[in-house]
Amino acid sequence: MGLFDALFRSSEVLGIAEETLEFALESSAETHPNEYMGFLRGTEASALGLERDGLVITDVLVVPGTETNSVSATVRTNMIPNDVKALGSIHSHPNGVVRPSDADLETFGRGSVHVIIGAPYQRSDWRAFDSQGKPTQLNVLEVELPDAEEFFDFTQADIDEDLQWE
């Protein structure tokens, strides 16, 4: 995708892929009693076979160097990629409370949707919020995600073409 396409793609978030939500729930359980933290990335709905304009949350990006404990997660901001696909954040609350804390609200400015997952990390133990911390609807969508191996399927010519646009 070229820079022009990235700047003008639809910004409406249609929902989160079921497989992505399951990944986040499992990751939250695995890091318990510490918090889990990541950034949400999306894919154009049309690339997933949906006949709608908008984005589907398909990936969770865990930033290297993120430090977590039972009450907080600290992301090294210098490690956050400047990514046009970033849609918001996702993190867990080991205490089970699925509403944003004051500290959460301070981080909600980047992106349009933020997900909090609470212990015991079951399918019903999460909520989505907008950038102001107000609850928002986030549909769980059954879509087939692209093969992870495709992410690494590029050639030197592809890299050269991308660099030409910078």
Each residue's pLDDT tens digit, 66-85? 677 667 676 666 656 665 56
Asked if residues 45 and 11 have their Cβ atoms less than 8 Å apart, the reply is: no
For residue 64, the model assigns a pLDDT of 65
Question: How many CB atoms are closer than 10 A to CB 118?
Answer: 19
| SS3 assignment, position 54 | coil
Asked if residues 88 and 39 have their Cβ atoms less than 8 Å apart, the reply is: yes
Number of domains in the chain: 1
| SS3 assignment, position 19 | helix
User: Does the residue 6 lie in any domain?
Assistant: no
| From 18, 22, 35, 142, the catalytic residue | 35
User: Does the residue 68 lie in any domain?
Assistant: yes
| CATH (domain of 152) | 3.40.140.10
Question: How many CB atoms are closer than 10 A to CB 47?
Answer: 13
User: Does the residue 73 lie in any domain?
Assistant: yes
Residue 55, pLDDT > 50, answer yes
User: Does the residue 1 lie in any domain?
Assistant: no
- At residue 144 the predicted structure's pLDDT band, cuts being 50, 70 and 90, is confident
For residue 157, the model assigns a pLDDT of 77
User: Does the residue 139 lie in any domain?
Assistant: yes
User: Does the residue 99 lie in any domain?
Assistant: yes
User: Does the residue 5 lie in any domain?
Assistant: no
Span 88-118, pLDDT tens digits: 999 999 999 999 999 899 888 778 999 999 9
Question: How many CB atoms are closer than 10 A to CB 100?
Answer: 21
Domain extent for 53: 13-163
pTM metric for this prediction: 0.77
Residue 5, pLDDT > 50, answer no
For residue 98, the model assigns a pLDDT of 96
Q: Could you confirm whether 150 is annotated as catalytic? A: no
- At residue 148 the predicted structure's pLDDT band, cuts being 50, 70 and 90, is low
User: Does the residue 47 lie in any domain?
Assistant: yes
Average pLDDT over residues 50-75: 80
For residue 129, the model assigns a pLDDT of 97
For residue 9, the model assigns a pLDDT of 42
For residue 164, the model assigns a pLDDT of 73
Strands 67-68 and 73-74, bridge-based pairing? antiparallel
For residue 156, the model assigns a pLDDT of 76
